[in-house]
Amino acid sequence: MTIQIVLSIVMILVNIILYFVFGSLVMAINKEKPLRATLSVLVGFFVYYCLFDIPCLIVMLHWRPLSVLSMTWAVILVLVVVISAVMSFTRWKSGFASLTQYVRENMAFCITAVAIVAVQMILIMHAYEFTLDAAYYVANVTTSLRTNTMNIYDPFTGDWQNHFETRYLFATYTMNDAVMCQLTGIHPLLWTKTIMSGTAVILTNIVYYKIGRKLFGNSNGKILLMLFFAGVLNFFYISTFTSSNFMTTRTYEGKSLVGNIVLPMILYIFICLGEDHKNRKYYLMLFLTCIGSTILSSSSNMLVPATVAVFALPLAIRKKSIGVLVKSALCVLPCLFMMVMYVLYVKGLFVFYTYPPLFGKH
């Protein structure tokens, strides 16, 4: 038990560090100064899954085993870490110095914030859950590992499927779980239920922190109150229709990530756009958030465009700028494209088979 706890903590930190590395690479390419650690983690989270989706789909649609994807992704991770280190080392150094100084000057705030997040993580990771969707995530990762395949066998029955279910074909979030389990040797239940749940809680609270910093400036007390009451709200506002239910009971599911990370992230971006609606970097962040959301869950294909529209229309009216609507519409195109793909699949207009053609035909 102690080994599992230590391993979980280490791997949660590894996830956050990887997201930071991916995000700082984007910041370096975009020539962002100074380096902001929390924003780099959030941006890197979406970039990580956007990049993973490319080799995953290529390997899957060429009917290659999971192990090929795992080795490919391991190489990509090493390359990204090296390139990011080369391009961002000076930023990392100055950013770490600034972070150290900030922690020293705001020790009480940092300790309290960490305590609030830690309590949430402990309660959520030790919760018992038995929903069908939660079981699907664990079963899908386990089946992928045991068969060294991707989305070919039904996780519940073990039956072979002759075509890929489009809902899960493009939302490759679970396949990343399978890859990480294969690379690390960690059991799928520990990875999904504990490690990814803990990672999701931290990312959610980072978004809350960023929103609080925008709303309350340097008032650490108000930000702490926001983090505290946001946690209280999540634990007591539980029903089938709230993201809080997913946050506390189905934390590692793609829908939970959309409801608790993606949607608050969109809110944060539009708060930033409210201050400067012409800033290109905010639209880049919005685009990365939208395209990354399609990889987490197919539910985002309709939910994210609707959310962006709710925020973009009032902003366009307030700023008297049609450009806000145009740029926001361009950002949600990946979601709309995936939605159209799913409709065409349901109507039987196309299908991706799980086996290569025989004599040129399926």
- According to the model, what pLDDT value does residue 359 have? 58
Q: How many CB atoms lie within 10 A of CB 193?
A: 22
**Tens of pLDDT, residue by residue, the chain (362 residues):** 677 778 888 999 999 999 999 999 998 888 777 778 899 999 999 999 999 999 999 999 999 999 999 999 999 999 999 999 999 888 888 888 888 888 899 999 999 999 999 999 988 888 766 677 778 889 999 999 999 999 999 988 889 998 898 888 899 999 999 999 999 999 999 999 899 999 999 999 999 999 999 999 889 999 999 999 999 988 887 777 788 888 888 888 899 999 999 999 999 999 999 999 999 999 999 999 999 999 999 999 999 999 999 999 999 999 999 999 999 999 999 999 999 999 999 888 888 888 887 656 66
* SS3 (DSSP) at 15: helix
CB 170 within 8 A of CB 341: yes
Tell me which residue of 278, 330, 279 sits closest to 308, measured CA to CA: 330
Tell me the C-alpha distance between 347 and 334, whole Å. 20
Q: How many CB atoms lie within 10 A of CB 282?
A: 21
- Identify the bridge partners of residue 153 per DSSP, sorted by sequence position: 160
CB 198 within 8 A of CB 212: no
33-68 as b/e: b if 16+ CB within 10 A? eebbbbbbbbbbbbbbbbbbbebbbebbeeeeebeb
Rg of the chain on CA atoms, in Å: 21
Tell me which residue of 263, 262, 284 sits closest to 273, measured CA to CA: 284
Name the token pair of 234.
């999540």
Name every residue whose Cβ is closer than 8 Å to that of residue 73 and which is 6 or more positions away in sequence: 52, 55, 56, 176, 179, 183
- According to the model, what pLDDT value does residue 51 have? 96
Q: Residue 185 carries which DSSP code?
A: -
Q: Is 246 exposed, middle or buried (0-12, 13-18, 19+ CB in 10 A)?
A: buried
Residues written for the chain = 362
Q: Which residue has the tokens 């039904």?
A: 154
Distance between the two ends of the chain, CA-based, in angstroms?
49
CB 178 within 8 A of CB 188: yes
